[in-house]
Every structure is written in C-alpha cells, then in structure tokens.
C-alpha cells in the first residue's frame, strides 16, 4: 500500500507541476494580449481566441 500511495502522490505532484506550467504560459499570453489591447494593437482578440 505504501508504494501505491507514493506513486499516486508522485503523479499528483507531476500533474500539479504541469498545470502550473500551463497556467504560466496562459498568463504570459493573456498579459501580452492585454498589453496589445491597451496600445490599440490588432491583437486584442488573442485572449478570446486562446
């Protein structure tokens, strides 16, 4: 049982790290999109499309 729970925990941690990386990428894209919008650039729809 111990090995099962540690494998499960490791998988949880890896999944969480993947989610955090994805969230970081999304935030970077969203910030870039908002910056474009604030400057009146044509890329204002990036956030909606993404």
Calculate the CA 37 to chain-centre distance.
Answer: 21
Q: How many domains does the chain have?
A: 1
- pTM for the structure as a whole: 0.49
Q: What is the pLDDT of residue 34?
A: 85
Q: Are 46 and 33 in contact (CB under 8 A)?
A: yes
Whether the CB-CB separation of 49 and 36 falls below 8 Å is answered with no
Task: Give the separation between CA 47 and CA 29, rounded to whole angstroms.
Answer: 7
39: Cα separation from own chain's centroid: 24
Residue 44, exposed/middle/buried by CB under 10 A (0-12, 13-18, 19+)? middle
27 domain residue, yes or no: yes
Residue 33 placed within a domain: yes
Range of the domain at 24: 20-50
pLDDT digits (tens, 9 = 90+) for 10-39: 999 999 999 999 999 999 999 988 888 777
């Amino acid at each position: 049982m111990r090995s099962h729970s540690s494998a499960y925990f490791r998988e949880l941690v890896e999944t969480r790290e993947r989610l955090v990386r994805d969230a970081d990428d999304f935030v970077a894209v969203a910030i870039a999109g908002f910056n474009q919008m604030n400057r009146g650039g044509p890329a204002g729809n990036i956030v909606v499309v993404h």
